[in-house]
Amino acid sequence: MMQFACLIDASAKYGNVGSRCHVCGTSQLRQQFLVPLLDGPHRPNKRAQDRKIYRCDLCGHLSADLYDLSQYANYYESLSTDYHYCHDFDRSRYQQILDNIPKQSVRRVLDIGCGTGTFLAMLPPDVERFGIEPARAATSSARARGVEVVEYVDLMKPELRNTFDLVTAIDVIEHIADLQHFRQHVIAALRPGGMVVLLTGNTASRSARLLGSHWSYLHYAEHVSFFSPQSMRVWLHPTFSNIELTSTNHHQLNSKEALTLLRIWLLFPGKWIFRKLFPVRLNMYTALSLPGDHMLVRAICN
Ligand SMILES: [Zn+2]
């Protein structure tokens, strides 16, 4: 495990992550890892080979440097629908969300990062479906599935503000650097007593702690915010209550599928080989999340 313990020099180039923790606001950040930079908006930049991951001493949250808001925004906006179809090859993650929501009381749902609307399409037909999605190509597919695609600013309008029974963000929050901005919009969307459900990586999971800087989840340049149950609770406090954090898998694989993935993993320990062999949108690397390295978060908006 590559580990450092130097306080960040405030003058160091630090992108938009800033010199403060985006969860708790402290400036007590230490460089924790130096990891290879794969995928995402930095792909065309041959000089960007690795990045630093910082740990907050107070809440344990991990954040990545090299975050340029405009660069990331352009990247997400230009993604093709292949990106989402590739991520949708296994719908078990959506099913586990469905299994964890009170369906009887959910009539109006907002899915942040809705992609082509796959999750929303799995909801009962009488549910009102809304989505936020930066990828332009995906929004037309989502609309074709009956999703009303809105923008963040729309959530402040009277017709949408505090009207949603459920807000979901499935594999989304790890892509977001400005977590307070994101939090404000989740709160703006939810009605009092409404539920937020998140699926994201868990830095305190056994897999993540065992692998340290080799945990593949840290290597995606798209991922910039890494939660533990502790930092998630800090982020949700004090607006949310009844917080439930459940350790889970990104993909609910059966044993045969798990064995196949393990074989692939063992055959290709050098992940850069994948980068050479597969274009990013067909990258099987996405399937290589590890058992228990995610968490499912449920909380009620007060
Ligand atoms: Zn913190």
- Quote the CA–CA distance of 171 and 273 in Å, as a whole number: 25
- What are 53-89's pLDDT values in tens digits? 999 999 999 999 888 888 898 999 988 887 877 677 7
Report every protein residue that has its C-beta within 5 angstroms of ion ligand 1: 21, 23-24, 56, 58-59, 61
State in Å: Cα 163 to ligand 1 middle.
30
Averaged pLDDT for residues 232-259: 85
Looking at residue 193, what is its pLDDT? Answer: 97
State in Å: Cα 45 to ligand 1 middle.
30
Listing DSSP states for 194-217 in one string gives: EEEEEEEE-TTSHHHHHHGGG-GG
State in Å: Cα 29 to ligand 1 middle.
8
Looking at residue 68, what is its pLDDT? Answer: 86
- What are 195-212's pLDDT values in tens digits? 999 999 999 999 899 889
Give this prediction's pTM: 0.84
Q: Which residues of 13-27 are buried (b: 16+ CB within 10 A; e: fewer)?
A: ebbbbbeebbbbeee
